[in-house]
């Protein structure tokens, strides 16, 4: 991925609905070039275009990241969580933990009830909850053309320094 591609990606990350003409003006790259580069890179680097929501404004005031150690029930827990509507992000992780989940609920009581239900339904040996109090930044990486990271190669992974 060259500098032009990174610049286009950063502008799209900051506003995925930006018209190509405005993208061209802001980047200094011809519309036809942007179109060609997007067509070439879209299936490889862009998973999907989506909207970032203000969960609190939508009535979801309880927001937490939860780490789980689940022992033998990890696969069943992951399957259950991946199909639950209140899970925003879900990861299988390491360093003694099995799962990291982002939970979003209308209120703290419902969030706590959900975790209690998980503990009754699955073998959860340990959990750690971090309640999100204030969003400072979200989806910031590769979103500002002025502060792009150095060393991206054509496979989209950072090169070793």
Domain that holds residue 7: 3-51
Q: How many domains does the chain have?
A: 2
Q: What is the CATH number of the domain that holds 32?
A: 1.10.10.10
- 3-class state of residue 50 by DSSP: coil
pLDDT band at 161 (very low <50, low <70, confident <90, very high): very low
pLDDT band at 115 (very low <50, low <70, confident <90, very high): very high
pTM: 0.78
Does any domain span residue 26? yes
Rounded to the nearest integer, the mean pLDDT of the chain is 88
Rounded CA separation 106/97 (Å): 27
User: Does one domain contain both 68 and 115?
Assistant: yes
14 pLDDT higher than 70: yes
Instruction: Judge whether 140 and 72 are in contact, CB under 8 Å.
Output: no
pLDDT digits (tens, 9 = 90+) for 41-97: 777 888 887 888 999 999 999 999 999 999 888 999 999 999 999 999 999 999 999
Q: What is the CATH number of the domain that holds 88?
A: 3.30.70.920
Rounded CA separation 96/11 (Å): 38
Does any domain span residue 56? no
In the sheet that 126-131 helps form, which strands lie side by side, from edge to edge? 87-92, 99-105, 62-69, 126-131
């Amino acid at each position: 991925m060259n500098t032009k591609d990174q610049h286009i990606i950063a502008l799209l990350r900051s506003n995925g609905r930006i018209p190509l003409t405005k993208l061209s003006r802001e980047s200094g790259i011809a519309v036809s070039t942007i179109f060609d580069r997007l067509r070439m890179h879209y299936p490889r680097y862009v998973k999907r275009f989506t909207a970032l929501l203000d969960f609190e404004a939508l009535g979801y005031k309880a927001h937490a990241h939860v780490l789980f150690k689940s022992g033998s029930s990890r696969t069943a827990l992951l399957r259950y969580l991946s199909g639950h509507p209140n899970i925003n992000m879900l990861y299988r992780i390491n360093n003694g933990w099995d799962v990291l989940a982002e939970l979003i609920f209308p209120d703290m009581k419902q969030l706590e009830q959900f975790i209690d239900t998980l503990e009754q339904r699955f073998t959860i040996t340990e959990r750690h909850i971090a309640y999100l109090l204030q969003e400072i930044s979200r989806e910031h990486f590769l979103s500002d053309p002025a502060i792009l990271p150095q060393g991206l190669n054509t496979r989209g992974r950072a090169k070793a320094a």
